[in-house]
């Protein structure tokens, strides 16, 4: 399966990101061109499949992702998309954009997005807020490759993120380095008691490039696990971290991020 890197946004942004792309032959798509609409809708459908009730509305994808920044990920030829995955994407396109949009996918034989990550720059140009990491394929390591690809394109040195305590993506996020939990809960979030805010010191560009290319080279991490907390009940996990932070402790999520033992899932932490 040939994975093709893509950058979806407006030319003012995508041209600069493409120059920083660590992989060759990235496909750059102008989000406002009519011929890009099927790709845009399929990308939204992938996000919907991955995040369920937290799926991204189409207007957010335009207003907050592809106009001010760009969505970065991998796409494949339609013929390489497993039928069940394509069926699922088509159903979500029908639900979000209408039956006519789903029917219009029939003649679409271009690329189909299968993974994606988005980040917005802050007033500090090297600091980004990242979100929407997903992959609709079971390809091992595709999420890590996608996030590494995007962070390299953005030129990020620090990444701020939000995720849920029991979200399997924690494993991927932690592979890029220790996640320092800055806020154990996120009151404005749709799931405030399940969500924490973290910062990641992004690995050097050469590490990101190797990860994006599929080389399984995880940057060395110096922080060992000192505590494991159960995450089946995210609010209880949050309460544990709240207490640690209130006691003046520093809390990092470290590899493997989440681990399963005796049919229970735990988060690996370094607490100092």
Residues 137 and 18 placed together within one structural domain of the fold: yes
User: Using one digit for the tens of pLDDT, what is the confidence trace for 147-163?
Assistant: 999 999 999 999 999 99
Residues 7 and 83 placed together within one structural domain of the fold: yes
Residues 44 and 57 placed together within one structural domain of the fold: yes
For the entire predicted model, the pTM comes to: 0.95
Q: Residue 221: what pLDDT?
A: 77
What's the chain's average pLDDT?
Answer: 95
Domains identified in the chain, total number:
2
Distance CA(261)–CA(264), nearest Å, equals 5
Distance CA(154)–CA(117), nearest Å, equals 11
pLDDT bracket for residue 139 (50, 70, 90): confident
- Whether the per-residue pLDDT at 217 is higher than 80: the answer is no
Read off the pLDDT of each residue in 180-194 and give the average, rounded to a whole number.
96
In the chain, what percentage of residues exceed pLDDT 70? 99
Residues 77 and 23 placed together within one structural domain of the fold: yes
Nearest partner of 126 among 20, 217, 25, judged by Cα: 20
> What region, left, alpha or beta, does residue 262 occupy, with left being phi > 0 and alpha being psi -120 to 50 degrees?
left
Distance CA(97)–CA(206), nearest Å, equals 40
Residues 99 and 165 placed together within one structural domain of the fold: no
Q: Are 211 and 254 in contact (CB under 8 A)?
A: no
User: Using one digit for the tens of pLDDT, what is the confidence trace for 41-69?
Assistant: 999 999 999 998 789 999 999 999 999 99
pLDDT bracket for residue 170 (50, 70, 90): very high
Residues 91 and 163 placed together within one structural domain of the fold: no
Last residue of a domain, one of 155, 173, 200: 155
Residues 245 and 175 placed together within one structural domain of the fold: yes
Residues 89 and 146 placed together within one structural domain of the fold: yes
Residues 86 and 218 placed together within one structural domain of the fold: no
pLDDT bracket for residue 107 (50, 70, 90): confident
Residues 6 and 105 placed together within one structural domain of the fold: yes
Residues 28 and 89 placed together within one structural domain of the fold: yes
In the chain, what percentage of residues exceed pLDDT 90? 92
Q: Residue 208: what pLDDT?
A: 95
User: Using one digit for the tens of pLDDT, what is the confidence trace for 9-20?
Assistant: 999 999 999 999
Last residue of a domain, one of 93, 127, 155: 155
Residues 140 and 263 placed together within one structural domain of the fold: no
- Quote the domain boundaries for residue 249: 157-272
């Amino acid at each position: 399966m040939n994975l093709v890197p893509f950058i979806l946004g407006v030319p003012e942004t995508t041209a600069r990101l493409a120059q920083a792309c660590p992989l060759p032959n990235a496909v750059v798509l102008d989000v406002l061109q009519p011929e890009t609409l099927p790709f845009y809708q399929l990308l939204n459908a992938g996000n919907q499949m991955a995040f369920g009730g937290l799926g991204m509305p189409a207007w957010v994808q335009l207003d907050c992702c592809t106009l001010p920044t760009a969505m970065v990920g991998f796409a494949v030829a339609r013929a390489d998309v497993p039928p069940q995955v394509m069926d699922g994407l088509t159903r979500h396109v029908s639900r979000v954009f209408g039956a006519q949009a789903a029917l219009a996918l029939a003649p679409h034989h271009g690329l189909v997005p299968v993974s994606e990550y988005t980040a917005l720059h802050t007033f500090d140009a090297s600091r980004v807020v990242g979100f929407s990491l997903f992959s609709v394929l079971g390809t091992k390591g595709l999420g890590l490759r996608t996030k590494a690809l995007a962070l390299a394109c953005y030129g990020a040195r620090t990444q701020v993120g939000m995720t849920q305590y029991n979200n399997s993506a924690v494993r991927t996020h932690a592979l890029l380095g220790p996640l320092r939990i800055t806020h154990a809960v996120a009151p404005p979030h749709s799931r405030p008691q399940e969500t924490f805010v973290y910062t990641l010191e992004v690995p050097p560009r050469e590490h990101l490039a190797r990860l994006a290319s599929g080389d399984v080279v995880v940057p060395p991490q110096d922080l060992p696990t000192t505590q494991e907390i159960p995450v089946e009940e995210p609010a209880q996990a949050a309460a544990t971290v709240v207490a640690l932070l209130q006691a003046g402790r520093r809390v990092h999520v470290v590899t493997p991020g989440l681990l399963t033992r005796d049919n229970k899932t735990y988060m690996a932490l370094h607490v100092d």
